Structure 1
Amino acid sequence: MDIKKLFDSGISFNEFIKSEDNKNPEIFKNRFETVTIDESIKNIKNSSRVSSVLAFAESWCPDCQVSVPIMAKICDILEIDFHILKRKGHEEEMMALCKEKEARIPTFVFLNHDFNVLDIWIERPKAIKELVAKGDNSFRSGYVNGAYDKEIIDELLEKISRS
């Protein structure tokens, strides 16, 4: 699989927002504008090998509506190239990259300068995955309204700083 070619076929966050099949552009714009990420994260750029992030996402997906704007803002602050591909039509590539049995979204693939995969983040933060595993769905309203943004930001920054 040519990951660089796959990455290059993706679109920017702004193009994703404006795409004609995105029925919720305001959700993505508002999340990007209102999520709070401390500018001091810039200092992790020097120690990280991440130069690009490839996202697999769909605009209709609540998990994507929550996490894609956060990843876009982190990439904007850290000057990391960020491209998005739809899941539909890329399921096989996603499963091969993630070594998963199903293509879950959003998926963020952290890449170095040579487009080697450094790390991957899939779907939701650990705290939410733990609640779901217990059958607890009480998180849903708070999750889509930003209650777990800190957990998402921390996990994504950890992936970037460790890579």
Structure 2
Amino acid sequence: MIKIQIIDDIRAQIPFEFMMVVGFSLIITISLVISFADSNELNQAMTASRTGALDGSISDGLAIYPMDAFNEYNMGHVRLLNPASVKILKIDYINQGFSQKYRKTKIQLRIHASSPHCTDKSDRNCMGDRINFYARKKICETFHTENLTNTFFNPAFSNNYVFTTTDVRWE
């Protein structure tokens, strides 16, 4: 014969300990979700800038430009009208802290590129401007903030960040 013994928990320690574990787990989970959401937004913006920079490098590499850029390059940067290889090496960023002007955290992107066929500094500046333009544009398209910026997408906005670019570093 098997005896079943029921233990009365008069002091209610088991539910109290359970509630403590659940409470701490909930606090930790909420804090992790908030920090992951912020870093996810930054990762998403960096991915968008990488895609945009690649679009800009393809445009530069294939010498495909809008008509106004083509006319400008035809006058002063004839070398850019011929195809050349442009490679995006890396993109890093500098967190410049909270911007009172925009009420968001300001991030400055720095794109590193390489183009062995183009050695003229002014031509590289033109190529770099196009690469930066496409990087900022893609960030705005990703976060649907095209209406918050100017025609050059400078600065580019996400929900919690404002993005600017510095001159492309050529290596």
Normalising by the smaller structure, the TM-score range is under 0.3
Under a length normalisation based on structure 2, what TM-score does the superposition of the two structures give? 0.26
Give the alignment's TM-score, normalised by structure 1. 0.27
Q: Which has the larger radius of gyration?
A: 2
Q: When you count strand as a share of all residues, which structure comes out higher?
A: 2
